[in-house]
Each structure stands twice: as C-alpha cells, then as structure tokens.
Amino acid sequence: MDGWTGQFLRVDLTSRTHRVETFTEEFAYRWIGGRGFAVKILYDELPPRIDPLGPENKLIVAVGPISGIPAPNTGKTVVAAKSPLTGGYGDGNLGTRVTDQLRKAGYDAIIIEGRAAQPTILSIDDDTVEFLPADEIWGTGTMATNEWIWARYGKGAGVLTIGQAGENMVHYATVRSLEGRSGGRPGMGAVMGSKLLKAIVVRGSKPIPQAFPAKMKELGRDDLREVHRIDKELAWSVQGTTGVLPWCNEVAALPVHNFRGTHHPDAWQVDGERVNLARAALYGCPNCTMRCGIAVLDDEGRESEVDYEPVGLLGPNLDLFNLPEVASLNFLCDDYGLDTICAGGVLGFYADAIERGATQGDIRFGEVDGFKRLLGLIARREGIGDLLANGTRAAARAFGHGSEDYAMQVKGMEISAYNCKFIPGMALAFGVSPIGAHHKESWIITYEVNQTPRESYGRDKAQKIVDLQRIRGGLFESIITCRFPWVELGWGVEHYPVYFNTITGKDWTLEDFWPISDRIYAVMKLFWLREFPDTDRYADYPPAAWFDPANADTEGIIAGKHLEYDKYDSLLQHYYDIRGYDRRGIPTRTTLEQLGLGAEAAAAEAWATLT
C-alpha cells in the first residue's frame, strides 16, 4: 500500500509476545496516521473508565504517511494513551529517529499492551522483537539512560525512553527521545512507566512504501533547501521559539507569579536574545533544517535545551529571571522526564497556594533552590511531591480554600505559557483543546492580538480556532509533521497534500483532509464523553482567575481588563455551532453521521445520550 506499510506491531508486555496485524486501505485513508490511528485504536479497544496506569491501558507509538521521508520537518512520532492527567484521550509528538526506523522496520504503529514483570527494554529490529532487561538503567535519568543506550545501540537506532518521573508515574511525565526531544504532555511517560517499560529501541532496514520515490526524493531535497533558505533569511532559528517572549511581555501575555502578572521589567533577561547570546550547542529533530533546540549552560554548567514554553513557565511564572537558574530547572525536568510546561504550572501553583495561605510549605517565588528540590520530590513522589505529581487540579482539590480558582489548568492539564486574562480567543483555544490546555491545537494568539480587536468575542475567532485545529491538530498530527515551517516561516500548508500525493499516488486537495481532521476531533470528544458521561460545557472553560476582576492587572495596557463569563460562553457556543456540537460540547448524532461515524455514535449511546 503506497504511503503506509499496512502493518501494526502489537506487543503484549505481560506475556512477552507480539504479533503483526494488517490494516486496510480504507482504514488508512479514513484515519491517515499518527493521532488519527491512535485515537481510533484507543477508542475501539479500551474499555470505559479503566485505570490509565493499569495494564489495561495501551500505549500507541504511531507515525504517518510522510513521517521519516526526507522532506521539511518530518521527523516526528506520536505517542498516545488514555491520559492519567486528564482522564481523557492524551497524546503528544516528538522528534526522534523512531520515526523513520519504525517505518523501515515495516510498521506504521506499535500497540503496547499489558505490564512487564520487570523493567524492560522493547527492542524491535525489523521482524525481530525482543524483551530485554532494563534493570541497569531503571532509576536513572534520561541523560544517563541515553548514554547507556548509545553505548549499546549507536546513534542510528530510534530510541524512546523515560526518566524517574515516568517510572514513578508522575501524571505529567513525558516520553523522551535519544535526540533530547520530549513529547506526550498528558502523562504518556507515566503510562510507559506503569508498564515497566524503560525504553523502546527501533531499527529497520526496509524501504518505505511510496508511489513515486524518485520524485519524492527530489521534491524533499529541494524543499528542505528552500525551508533552510527562508529560515536563514528570516533568522527564526537564531532565537527559536524563545524569540516570542518579548512580544508576550509587551502585549501582556506572559505568565508571571503563577499567571497573576502578565509582564515584567526583568523579562528581557531570559528572552531569545539572551538565549542566543548564551548558546552553547544546537540540537534538532531528524529531517529538520531549522533546528530550534538551543542549549545554554545552566547554573551547574550542564547543557540545557530551552524553548519559550519552559522559559516562560520555569522563569517569569516563578519570578525567576536568571537564565542559568531557569535552565537548571529545565535540565532537571528533562532529566527526570517531566513535562516542563506542567511542571512550571505546578511549581507556580504550589508557591501561590502557600503565599495565599491555602497550604503550608517553604517554597517561595524567586528562590530557585526550593524549586529544584521540589522537582526531585515530585519525580520521586516523596513528601508533598506525591500530591503535586498528580497535577495542579488534584493539588487544588486537596488544598481547598478556593485554590481551584488559581489552579491554571483546563481538563487537568496545565496551561502553556500564554496568559489570557484578556485574550478571549486564545483562552477559548485552551478551553476547547480536547487533550487539555495545550497550545499546539490552535495557537491563535498572535493573529488575535495583532490582527483582530483584542476585546472581541466574535464568531470569527471561533471560526479561526476551528480552522487552526483542522491544520495543526488534524492534518499535521495525522500525516505528522512539525508545525514550525508553516507557523514561523510561512511555508504554505498546500505543500503537505503534495507530499501526501507523491507518497500515496492520490490526488487529494487540502479540503479532503478537513473531514478527517473533524472526524479525529469528534472521536477525541466521544472518548471524553465515554469517560465522563456527565460532562458539560464547563469542562471547556479556562480557570476562574482569568474572569476575576480582583485578578486584573492594576497597571499596563490591560489594566482593569479580564474575561467576561457571558461573552466567553457565547464565544464557546459559536465554536460548538461551527463544529456541530451540542450544548455540552459533544458532537451531535447528525454531525457524527456526517463524519462517517454512525457506528461510533451507536456505540456511544450505550453509555451516554447523544442529541
């Protein structure tokens, strides 16, 4: 089948067995790959309301039709499972050589089931699947784990690992790659750890099935060069994602002091210019000519690869403006295998809860040593770290005293580094992200602040969010590509059907992908409904702090401004209307049938009511 290997590898860690399964062309074109494959498999195979950290959960490692093909930024793989952080469907993507090695081994996805009896490395070498002991590296951080694996397998293998946070099932533990990338914010590392799976090593030697391989090779080579040329011209990679920090500070969108503030005069000390000046090394994902992994040295002289999100949340959000100190928190998160965004949100919330008297403790904003210590407690689930390992929502429920109002999360996932006190569209984007408050689904913020009346709650913003979700969360997450050429360099989205067609032999246009994107979003919502039959529209609301007049800035460009409940609710309703969802935010039966999900609709009615 051109475009896909047509095979899944199903692995049972309990019985230490595996089997190869085939899928049909119809399945491939209905779900495309990556997130599409993952959500369909998990929705079909997981019983309702299982423990996400029990052996019944399944970890999916999936690639897409353009994954691993030498073309701009195609080195990403999706990891997915039922999320321990949100309780719904969870996933994430990361740059790794697993992407091309898995396809060369002959698989479009690995479905990992059960739980190993002891710490295990899953080794896949073409048709050979082995379950190897991981005792030597169990308990080690991802840096030491990578060194150990490098020494045995060399740099050519595709490798995914977890650190201590994954082993101890911290609900926001990520999966890490040998290339130093992280993915799976909703606790995909915890699911891997719950299965006693320390690492996945993949090597393959077969050709990737393509309709026109020579044409794709030429096209990919030319486009990689062109993306590189544009990047050099625009100099985006000079600062990478950290280049957005001054803009966030200027427009009052930076998280400061657990999102209480939106800007800070010292923010320049951790901005992209300072990151570039401190640059010690540069890293990137496979098949990428705009490498954005800028490493700086932390306060202990260790290389730490920083992006805007971790800098924002481990820096200004904690009142820290010393780059090496911020880099040290970032290093610890990466080494423990903690998601930096969630970790920054949790640390900020805990310091805030102490400051406001909701709980007691010795963590203070601006004191890096306390935060370093706390990250260790979280990764090992010791002391207060055991509660904080479950995220801000769980901690707020335990602390009480109104702390849920300033727990900066949606659906249990901590908000990325954009303070939306007065940015309604981006607040909605966080609210309706089906995996929790992730910016990757719909990054409307620059468009909204720069090109629309910021105070507007108009339908156009809801439409823009749907448009962005279709591209970012649907198209990009299923064919699987990094969004940055498109977001940062203006690399046209129309390039992707060209790659898809050259690989599959089809003649699709962009419009052919939108129903598939909508189908994927609809199933993510059905997954949510199955887990939470009493769900309502308030699951799609951002935290109360953003609506609170007492939390409004007292000076600056948005002084006195805050989100308004009734207007937010009408913006949310616009989103539901455009999507064909009911007042709870669930696709209607008609919508499901239009998306070819009649069977899924019928199954859904066994546990909940559709409208």
Q: Which residues bind ligand SF4 (CB under 6 A)?
A: 73, 75, 95, 284-285, 288, 290-293, 482, 484
Strand partners, 120: 133, 197
Q: Min. distance of Cβ 285 from ligand SF4 in angstroms?
A: 3
DSSP code string of 515-558: HHHHHHHHHHHHHHHHH-TT--GGGG---GGGG-GGGS-SSSTT
Q: Min. distance of Cβ 46 from ligand SF4 in angstroms?
A: 29
Cβ proximity to ligand SF4, 57 vs 67, nearer residue: 67
**3-class DSSP state for residue 124?**
strand
Q: Min. distance of Cβ 177 from ligand SF4 in angstroms?
A: 10
Cβ proximity to ligand SF4, 270 vs 294, nearer residue: 294
Q: What is the residue type of 55?
A: P
Cβ proximity to ligand SF4, 112 vs 285, nearer residue: 285
Cβ proximity to ligand SF4, 305 vs 404, nearer residue: 305
| Angle, in degrees to the nearest 10, between helices 392-399 and 340-355 | 20
**CB–CB of 417/313 below 8 Å?**
yes
Give the span between the Cα atoms of 548 and 563, in whole angstroms. Answer: 8
Q: Min. distance of Cβ 206 from ligand SF4 in angstroms?
A: 24
Cβ proximity to ligand SF4, 43 vs 308, nearer residue: 308
Cβ proximity to ligand SF4, 87 vs 293, nearer residue: 293
Cβ proximity to ligand SF4, 284 vs 587, nearer residue: 284
**3-class DSSP state for residue 16?**
coil
Cβ proximity to ligand SF4, 37 vs 484, nearer residue: 484
- With 0-12 / 13-18 / 19 or more C-beta atoms within 10 angstroms meaning exposed / middle / buried, residue 554 is exposed
Measured from the Cβ of residue 555, the count of other Cβ atoms closer than 10 Å reads: 8
Q: Mind spelling out the 3-state secondary structure of 499-522?
A: HHHHHHCCCCCHHHHHHHHHHHHH
Q: Min. distance of Cβ 38 from ligand SF4 in angstroms?
A: 20
Q: Min. distance of Cβ 283 from ligand SF4 in angstroms?
A: 7
- With 0-12 / 13-18 / 19 or more C-beta atoms within 10 angstroms meaning exposed / middle / buried, residue 18 is buried
Q: Min. distance of Cβ 302 from ligand SF4 in angstroms?
A: 20
Q: Min. distance of Cβ 445 from ligand SF4 in angstroms?
A: 18
Q: Min. distance of Cβ 336 from ligand SF4 in angstroms?
A: 21
Cβ proximity to ligand SF4, 72 vs 497, nearer residue: 72
Which residue has 């953003």 as its token pair?
A: 546
Q: H or E stretch including 203?
A: strand 197-203
**CB–CB of 480/64 below 8 Å?**
yes
Cβ proximity to ligand SF4, 307 vs 531, nearer residue: 307
Cβ proximity to ligand SF4, 115 vs 291, nearer residue: 291
Instruction: From 255, 366, 383, 348, select the one nearest 308 (Cα to Cα).
Output: 255
Radius of gyration of the chain (CA): 22
Give the span between the Cα atoms of 1 and 27, in whole angstroms. Answer: 12
What sign does the dihedral 412-418-420-425 (CA atoms) show?
negative
| Angle, in degrees to the nearest 10, between helices 459-469 and 565-579 | 50
Cβ proximity to ligand SF4, 305 vs 540, nearer residue: 305
Q: Min. distance of Cβ 444 from ligand SF4 in angstroms?
A: 20
Q: Min. distance of Cβ 484 from ligand SF4 in angstroms?
A: 4
Give the span between the Cα atoms of 279 and 293, in whole angstroms. Answer: 10
Name the phi and psi angles at 410, rounded to 5.
-135, 130
Q: Min. distance of Cβ 58 from ligand SF4 in angstroms?
A: 26
